[in-house]
Structure 1
Amino acid sequence: MRLTILILTLFIGGCGSFQPPWESARKMKTDLQAYKSYNLNSEYTVTTGSPMVLARTYKEYIWFKPVSLETIIWNGQTLANDQHGSPYTFTPTYKLDGKNGDYILTAENFYHRAIGIIVFDDGTVPENPVMRIDRKGSMKRYPITPVAYDKKIFEKHFFLEEEKSGQFMFELIYTGKSGQTINLLYREYINDMSRDAFRQSLTYNLDESKEISFKSLKINVLKATNSEITFTIQDDDDLEWLR
């Protein structure tokens, strides 16, 4: 409804200089994710000085891949690879209200982001999903060919961000055994820089328990010598504290 009102308002008032009224969504990222170096209940063996556990936070960029390269979008041009043979990578440029579409997609090498395609999060599109969104554009919308707004035109994909700004990482390192006591070292990093103030040396007596705990990690020690340790990660509470 809101999108319809905007369309009528701008159509009546004209648009000498087209200014899309929606929130920018360029390089839109997912919520914070956690990469883990392990799987729960899998057996691992590491040598002294090596990380038993490593995990870091990251975000993913959202992009959409065309399902059918034969779909005609604008002036007879299909979604097939561009003239240089590179595939089109459509990313959300604007974010919509979710009722008439979730995003307006553009691709840098598809009319230089001047043509936008309205799409829902599941890859389907509404009726007449194509619009011109450059400075000469308007709120007028155009169909795709074939008309298939009840089918998936795009598949949603993700790729990892390369920028390390704000990334948090930790590692739990095995540092050997003395008698029945094993020694671990906990280290934290921000943007690949060590946070020495948060470094901790940890000791656990295996005579007391083969299960050791640190933060949300529950580790079952199967075998340990001064040169290596064999273990499983029983639980980690999905590393909620890491996020």
Structure 2
Amino acid sequence: MYIRNSLFLTLMVSSLGACVSVPAAKNYREQSLTVADFSIPQLGTVTEVSVGEILLTQGEKRVAEAIELQSSAYRPHNGTSNLYVKSAESDEYDWYIDSNSSVFTDKGGLATNGITIKKQKGSGYLCPFQITGGGYSAGYNCYKEAKYTMHDSYTITSINSFQRSLIYNGKSGSKINIAYREFSNSLARPAFSNNVEYDMSESNIIAYKGAELKILEYTNTKIKYEVIKNFNSQ
């Protein structure tokens, strides 16, 4: 997966000691993230690929508040990332889950292995821990000296496991050959494959099953194009 952030504020919590105890959550409220379709390349951009390469990829994007740890020492037990995305809040805490969680893929699901960070609203102290079997299993401390960056608006992108792809197969005179393929978890679905020829002397716009490309240049070895619509474009 690849990530992009837009607005941030660095917080360096003062060193006041090693840890404090973690009170129970009061009025816990989950926060749903808005999911939007994401095109690779992005719509309106110009891209060049070689023969045999994929022209389009589909994914999803989410924008949310996030914490980026400045040191992996403050990760929860079994944490795999330094980036944690806000998923809930309670009276005293904001709750963040590992950005590598399956909740950020098209598979959905809960935070990976219950890996979570709580941030105290008043002090900003970080409380990393892991939940398994419905209770605290590892890490039950709030660190007063953790250093982190607070992102008010962080965009997370992920690639869908199901893909519809166009592949450039070269040209013959003024005609270009485009292959359509479907993949599920990187495995091709042969029954949904097709090859199509487009005559560039008639139009430089090609379309297939809702996807549209504007062809700018093409040779025997490469093609340059602009994405008008991806398969998942609304």
Question: Where do 1:19-38 residues align within 5 Å?
Answer: 21-23=27-29, 31=35, 34=38, 36-37=40-41
In structure 2, stretches of 5+ residues that fail to align are 1-22, 99-114, 137-141
How big is the shift at 1:128?
Answer: 4.5
Residue 182 (structure 2) aligns with: 188
Residue 200 (structure 1) aligns with: 194
In the superposition, the TM-score normalised over structure 2's length comes to: 0.51
Aligned residues: 177
Structure with greater strand share of residues: 2
Residue 218 (structure 2) aligns with: 223
Q: Is 1:174–2:168 an aligned residue pair?
A: yes
Query: 2:55 aligns to what SS in structure 1?
Result: strand
What percent identity do the matched residue pairs reach?
15
In the superposition, the TM-score normalised over structure 1's length comes to: 0.49
Query: 1:44 aligns to what SS in structure 2?
Result: strand
1:96 pairs with one of 89, 114, 132: 89
Residue 67 (structure 2) aligns with: 64
Residue 122 (structure 2) aligns with: 127
How big is the shift at 1:61?
Answer: 10
For residues 45 and 117 of structure 2, the distance between their equivalents in structure 1, rounded to whole angstroms, comes to 49
Letter of the aligned partner of 1:103 in structure 2? D
- Is the 1:219–1:234 Cα contact (8 Å) retained in structure 2? yes
In structure 1, stretches of 5+ residues that fail to align are 1-16, 68-78, 108-112, 119-125, 137-141, 146-151
RMSD of equivalent CA atoms: 4.9
How big is the shift at 1:209?
Answer: 1.6
- Is the 1:81–1:87 Cα contact (8 Å) retained in structure 2? no
How big is the shift at 1:219?
Answer: 1.9
For residues 49 and 204 of structure 2, the distance between their equivalents in structure 1, rounded to whole angstroms, comes to 15
Letter of the aligned partner of 1:154 in structure 2? T
1:213 pairs with one of 195, 207, 216: 207
